[in-house]
Every structure is written in C-alpha cells, then in structure tokens.
Structure 1
Amino acid sequence: MANDLTRRNNFLDNMMNMRNLMNDDFFSDFTPVEDHMKTDIEENDKQYQVKIDMPGFDKKDIHISYTNNILTITGHRDTIDDESDKNGHILHSERRYGQMSRQYRLPDVERKNITAHYENGVLSLVLPKKQAESDDDTRIEID
C-alpha cells in the first residue's frame, strides 16, 4: 500500500513539474496566431471600422484584400534578433520567420473606397458600406 502511495506521489510531482515547465517562458515563442492579430470591429449604418494589432510587422509586409465579402489580412515577418557585445561577439541570436493571416466576413462594402493606415503596430481600416437604394414609396403612373 505504501509503495502505491509513493508511486502516486511521484506521478503527481512529475505532473506538477511539467505544468510548471509549461507555464515557464520556455514556450513563449510558440504563441498562437490569434494572440498576434487581436481585432476590434465596429459597425454603423455607413461603414465598418477594423483595428488589428500587428506589432513588429513592416507596412510593406502586410497585404490586404477584399473579395466576395471577405476581408483578408496577411502579414509576413522575417526578423533576426542579434545581440552582440561591443566586440561583435554574438551573445544571443534568434530568427523568426512566418506568415499570419485572418479573414473577416464583412458584406456589402464599397471596395473602391476602402482605406487602410498602419501606425505603431496597429492596422486600421475603414470599409464604407454600399449605400442601399432608397425604397421610397413612389406612385407609378399607368400609361
């Protein structure tokens, strides 16, 4: 009985050690895409306003398209973090490569009038809605 209790306690200790390892910074470079492209979308009668957090991207590496009522944002990143000392000896070096993409269904947008602005790691878009034809109740005369 004591042997079973010891094995159980060892198993629980090992599980706690693995849990602590998972909470450590060891996995910090494996953050899901959703954490990098947090999005706010506001809608009113005239437009959609979209703000997407994309820190660390160059504007030239962000691609935006709107097709079939779908807004697609894609960002490509190639970074090298080189931390050399004053003599040029590398103390730490990391490379990150990758592409992120998100899609949003935003219907009835006036495609030609979409505007985009990127500043301080935030991509802001304004997507004007197509103006509906007025359904005024007008009398139609019969010839």
Structure 2
Amino acid sequence: MSNLFPTSRNFFFPQFFDQAFDSFFTPMNQPSVDIEEKDHSYEVTMDLPGMNKEDINVTYNNNLLTVEANQDQETEKKDDKANYIRRERVSRSFKRQFVIDNVQFEGIECKYENGVLNIVLPKSDQQLVENNHRIEIQ
C-alpha cells in the first residue's frame, strides 16, 4: 500500500498497514488443495475441517473439476443469573475450480473423512483419447 504514495520516509503508512491490506485481498476462505499426478490417475486432496459431507458438492464437467461448499451455523447461549444472551451466526462458503484434462469420468472416486476430501480422477487411455479427437480430412 505504501508504494501507492511514495515518500522519503514511510511515516503515514507504516508496515502494518501494508500487511493488513495485503491480507485483506488474499483469498482467506479458500481451503488448501494438493493435486498430484500419478501414472494412472490424478489425486486431489482438500482440507475442509468442520464441514459436513452434506454441505459439499463435487462435480466434473467439460474437463473442469468444481468443489463447492456452503455451511451455516447458529449458536445461542443464555445465562439466567446475569440476564445475558448471546446469539451468533456463521456462514462459510467457497468454490474452487480446476482444469484437469484426460479424465475417465466413469471411474471418479470421492471420499470425505476426518475433514479431508479425497478425489481420485482416473486418466483416460491417451491413445483412445487421440483417436476419438482426431478428425479425418477427406
């Protein structure tokens, strides 16, 4: 942020402002993802702690893997002695998309266990893919 207003001394925009604005514009709500290519498949591992299996939606269409989730939580605590009431609502949602080519749709496996989503995308036979996409010129 300080580079927007160059000064000889960084008096008006200390370093903590830079860090605050930088972290404000980064995707903080995005879960971490690992995508590993193996000999016969792609393996996607995504950390989704605290999510319920029912809140997660996974699709694969036109070489695009989409993982999205939406979760709403509501808590309420009351204390009769101090006449104190607290009610909190939290909503979390995200959508991640990845282009992954050469996938055999019929064999896709997806499992959610202990806060970790594992997706196995088997590769199509490359020779079969090349033959299917080749158009003969007449």
TM-score by length of 2: 0.67
Aligned residue for 1:109, secondary structure, equals coil
| Partner Cα separation in structure 2 for residue 89 and residue 47 of structure 1 | 55
Q: How far apart are 1:35 and its partner, in Å?
A: 4.6
Q: What is the correspondence of 1:1-143 to structure 2 with a 5 Å cutoff?
A: 12=11, 15-16=13-14, 19=17, 22=20, 33=27, 35-82=29-76, 84-85=77-78, 87=80, 89-91=84-86, 93-133=87-127
Identity across the alignment (%): 33
* Contact 1:72/1:104, CA 8 A, preserved across alignment: yes
- Structure 1 equivalent of residue 132 of structure 2: none
Are residues 33 and 15 of structure 1, via their aligned partners in 2, closer, same or farther at CA, if it must alter by over 3 Å?
A: closer
| Partner Cα separation in structure 2 for residue 31 and residue 59 of structure 1 | 29
Q: How far apart are 1:78 and its partner, in Å?
A: 0.5
Higher helix proportion, which one?
1
Q: How far apart are 1:94 and its partner, in Å?
A: 2.2
**Structure 1: runs of 5 or more not aligned:** 1-10, 24-29, 135-143
Are residues 130 and 34 of structure 1, via their aligned partners in 2, closer, same or farther at CA, if it must alter by over 3 Å?
A: farther
| Partner Cα separation in structure 2 for residue 95 and residue 36 of structure 1 | 20
Q: Select between 56-65 and 30-39 the one with higher mean Cα deviation.
A: 30-39
- The AA in structure 2 aligned to 1:90 is I
**Structure 2: runs of 5 or more not aligned:** 1-9, 129-138
CA RMSD of aligned residues (A): 3.3
Q: Which is greater in Rg? A: 1
* Contact 1:36/1:54, CA 8 A, preserved across alignment: no
Are residues 62 and 115 of structure 1, via their aligned partners in 2, closer, same or farther at CA, if it must alter by over 3 Å?
A: same
Aligned residue for 2:127, secondary structure, equals coil
TM-score by length of 1: 0.65
